[in-house]
Amino acid sequence: MCGIVGYIGHRNAWEIIIKGLKRLEYRGYDSAGVALVNGNMNIYKKTGKVSDLENFADSADLAGSLGMGHTRWATHGEPSDRNAHPHLSRNQKLAIVHNGIIENYASIKEMLIQKGHTFTSDTDTEVLIKLIEQIQLEGETDLRDAVRMALTHVTGAFAIVIASQEEPDLLIAARKGSPMVIGIGEDEYFIASDASPIVEYTKQVYYPEDNVLVYLNRDQMEIRDLTNLELTPYIQELELELEAIEKGGYEHFMLKEIHEQPRSIANCMRGRIYADEARINLGGISEYAVKLAQAKRIIIVSCGTSWHAGLVGEYLIEEYARIPVEVEYASEFRYRNPIISEEDVVIAISQSGETADTMAAIELAKKAGATILGICNVVGSSIPRLSHAGMYTHAGPEIGVASTKAFTAQVTALTLLSLYIARQRGTLPASKIATLLAQLQKTPQLIKECLKNEPLVKQIAYEIKDSTNCLFLGRGINFPVALEGALKLKEISYIHAEGYPAAEMKHGPIALIDEQMPVVVIATKDSSYDKIISNIQEVKARKGKITAIVTEGDTIISEIADYIIEIPLCEEALTPILATIPLQLLSYHIAVMRGCNVDQPRNLAKSVTVE
pLDDT tens for 585-608 read 999 999 999 999 998 888 776 656
Q: What contacts 98, CB < 8 A, 6 or more positions away?
A: 2, 4, 70, 85, 87, 124, 125, 128, 158, 159, 160
Q: What contacts 532, CB < 8 A, 6 or more positions away?
A: 473, 475, 502, 521, 522, 523
Checking if the pLDDT of 380 tops 90, the result is: no
- Which residue, among 292, 577, 571, has the nearest Cα to 437 in the 3D structure? 571
Report the alpha-carbon distance of residue 444 to residue 396 in Å, rounded.
15
pLDDT of amino acid 337? 87
**Mean pLDDT, the chain, whole residue set:** 92
Report the alpha-carbon distance of residue 23 to residue 398 in Å, rounded.
11
pLDDT of amino acid 259? 96
**Spatial contact of 562 and 544, defined as CB atoms under 8 Å apart:** no
Checking if the pLDDT of 280 tops 60, the result is: yes
Domains 247-450 and 452-598 share a fold: yes
**How are beta strands 220-225 and 230-231 bridged, if at all?**
antiparallel
Task: Write the single-letter amino acid at 481.
Answer: V
Q: For the residues 214-227, what does the mean pLDDT come to?
A: 94
User: How many C-alpha atoms does 611 have within 13 Å on its Cβ side?
Assistant: 12
Q: Which residues pair with 328 in a beta bridge?
A: 301
- Which residue, among 75, 164, 73, 88, has the nearest Cα to 120 in the 3D structure? 88
**Spatial contact of 13 and 7, defined as CB atoms under 8 Å apart:** yes
Q: For the residues 346-368, what does the mean pLDDT come to?
A: 92
Going from N- to C-terminal start, the domains of the chain cover 3-244, 247-450, 452-598
Output the DSSP codes for 428-439. Answer: S-HHHHHHHHHH
Per residue in 29-59, pLDDT (tens digit) is 889 999 999 989 999 999 999 999 999 998 8
Report the alpha-carbon distance of residue 168 to residue 145 in Å, rounded.
17
Checking if the pLDDT of 610 tops 60, the result is: no
Report the alpha-carbon distance of residue 603 to residue 591 in Å, rounded.
15
pLDDT of amino acid 553? 92
Phi and psi angles of residue 376, each rounded to the nearest 5 degrees, phi first: -140, 165
pLDDT of amino acid 59? 82
Per residue in 395-407, pLDDT (tens digit) is 988 988 899 999 9
**Spatial contact of 567 and 575, defined as CB atoms under 8 Å apart:** yes
pLDDT of amino acid 602? 83
Checking if the pLDDT of 143 tops 60, the result is: yes
Q: Does residue 606 carry a catalytic annotation? A: yes
Report the alpha-carbon distance of residue 402 to residue 396 in Å, rounded.
15
Q: Which of 2, 268, 376, 570 is catalytic?
A: 2
Task: Write the single-letter amino acid at 409.
Answer: A
Per residue in 64-93, pLDDT (tens digit) is 999 999 999 878 788 899 999 999 999 999
Instruction: Evaluate whether the domain defined by 452-598 bears CATH number 3.40.640.10.
Output: no
Q: How far is CA 560 from CA 450, 513, 515, 534, 550, in A?
A: 22, 16, 15, 11, 12
What letter does residue 226 receive in the DSSP assignment? Answer: T
**Spatial contact of 374 and 388, defined as CB atoms under 8 Å apart:** no
Task: Write the single-letter amino acid at 45.
Answer: K
Report the alpha-carbon distance of residue 592 to residue 583 in Å, rounded.
14
505 — pLDDT class (breaks 50, 70, 90): confident
Q: What percent of the chain has pLDDT over 70?
A: 98
pLDDT of amino acid 608? 65
CATH code of 247-450, in short, is: 3.40.50.10490
Q: Which of 45, 109, 488, 606 is catalytic?
A: 606
Per residue in 517-550, pLDDT (tens digit) is 899 999 999 888 888 888 888 888 888 889 999 9
Q: How far is CA 450 from CA 68, 117, 208, 260, in A?
A: 44, 61, 42, 13
How many Cβ atoms sit within 10 Å of the Cβ of residue 204? Answer: 15
Answer CATH for 3-244 from 3.40.50.2020, 3.40.50.300, 3.30.390.50, 3.60.20.10: 3.60.20.10
